[in-house]
A and B are shown apart, each in its own frame.
Chain A
Amino acid sequence: MNNKIIMKNMEQPGYTGSLKDYEAEGGYSALKKALGEMSQDAIIEEVKKSGLRGRGGAGFPTGMKWSFVPKDTPKARYLINNADESEPGTFKDRAIMIRDPHLTLEGQIISSYVIKCNVSYIYIRGEFYREAEILERAIKEAENAGYLGDNILGSGFDHRIYVHRGAGAYICGEETGLIESLEGKRGWPRIKPPFPALEGAFGCPTVVNNTETLANIPFIINNGYAAFASIGVERGTGTKVYCISGHVKKPGLYEFPMGITLKELIYDCADGIRDDNNLKAVIPGGASMPVLTPGEIDVKMDFDSLAKIGSHLGSAGIIVMDDKTCMVDACLNLSKFYAHESCGQCTPCREGMGWMKSILDRIEHGQGEPDDIDLLLEITNNIEGRTICAFGEAGAWPVRAFVTKFRSEFEEHVKQKKCVLAA
Chain B
Amino acid sequence: MSVEFSQKTLHEFEGLLDRYPTRKAASIPTLFLAQRDFGYISNEVIEYVSGLLDLTVAETNNIVSFYSMFYREKMGKHVIQVCHTLSCSLLGAANIVDHLKSKLGISPGETTLDNQFSLLKVECLGACGTAPAMRINDDYYESLTLDKIDKLIDRLAVKSVNNPSAEGPVQ
Contacts and interface: CB of A to CB of B under 8 A. Distances in A.
Do A and B pair up? The answer is: yes
B126 A130 contact: no
26 contacts: A88-B85, A91-B127, A94-B126, A127-B69, A164-B19, A167-B67, A167-B70, A168-B69, A168-B70, A169-B66, A183-B25, A184-B63, A185-B63, A202-B20, A202-B21, A243-B128, A245-B129, A246-B90, A247-B91, A252-B129, A253-B129, A287-B124, A333-B86, A334-B85, A337-B123, A340-B123
Interface of A: 76, 85-91, 94, 125-130, 162, 164-170, 181-187, 202, 243-247, 251-253, 283, 287, 317, 319, 321, 325, 330, 333-334, 337, 340-341, 343
Contacts of B123: 88, 170, 337, 340-341
Interface of B: 19-22, 24-29, 31-32, 53, 62-63, 66-70, 84-87, 89-91, 122-131, 135, 138-140
Contact of A186 (B19, B62, B139): B62
Contacts of B32: 126, 165, 167
B28 to A, nearest CB: 5
A3 to B, nearest CB: 22
- Pick from A127, A168, A181, A287 the residue with the most CB of B within 10 Å: A127
A333 B122 CA distance: 12
Contacts of A126: 32, 67, 69
B128 A185 contact: no
Residue among B31, B53, B66, B84 with the highest chain A CB neighbour number at 10 A:
B66
B129 A162 contact: no
A247 B19 CA distance: 43
A244 B129 contact: yes
Contacts of A321: 90
Given A87-B124, A184-B22, A202-B20, 9 more contacts: A127-B135, A129-B138, A130-B140, A167-B28, A181-B28, A185-B62, A186-B66, A253-B129, A333-B89
A170 to B, nearest CB: 7
Given A88-B86, A182-B25, A166 B67 contact: yes
The 4 A-B residue pairs with the shortest CB-CB distance in the complex, in nearest-first order:
A167-B67, A168-B68, A245-B128, A168-B69
A164 B25 CA distance: 10
B128 A184 contact: no
Contacts of B70: 167-168
Most buried by A among B90, B127, B130: B90
Given A170-B123, A251-B129, A330 B86 contact: yes
A86 to B, nearest CB: 6
A90 B85 contact: no
Given A162-B19, A185-B24, A337 B69 contact: no
Contacts of B67: 126, 166-169
A304 B157 CA distance: 53
Given A76-B21, A185-B24, A334-B86, A90 B128 contact: yes
B130 to A, nearest CB: 7
Contacts of B91: 246-247
A166 B28 contact: yes
Given A166-B67, A169-B66, A251-B131, A128 B90 contact: no
A88 B87 contact: yes
Contact of B87 (A127, A169, A182, A246): A246
A94 B124 contact: no
A120 to B, nearest CB: 11
A165 B29 contact: yes
B69 A167 contact: yes
B85 A337 contact: yes
B124 A130 contact: no
B86 A89 contact: yes
B161 to A, nearest CB: 26
A186 B28 contact: no
A340 B160 CA distance: 33
Given A167-B32, A184-B22, A245-B131, A91 B126 contact: yes
B79 to A, nearest CB: 12
Given A166-B67, A168-B69, A246-B91, A319 B128 contact: yes
A94 B142 CA distance: 14
Contact of B31 (A76, A91, A167, A317): A167
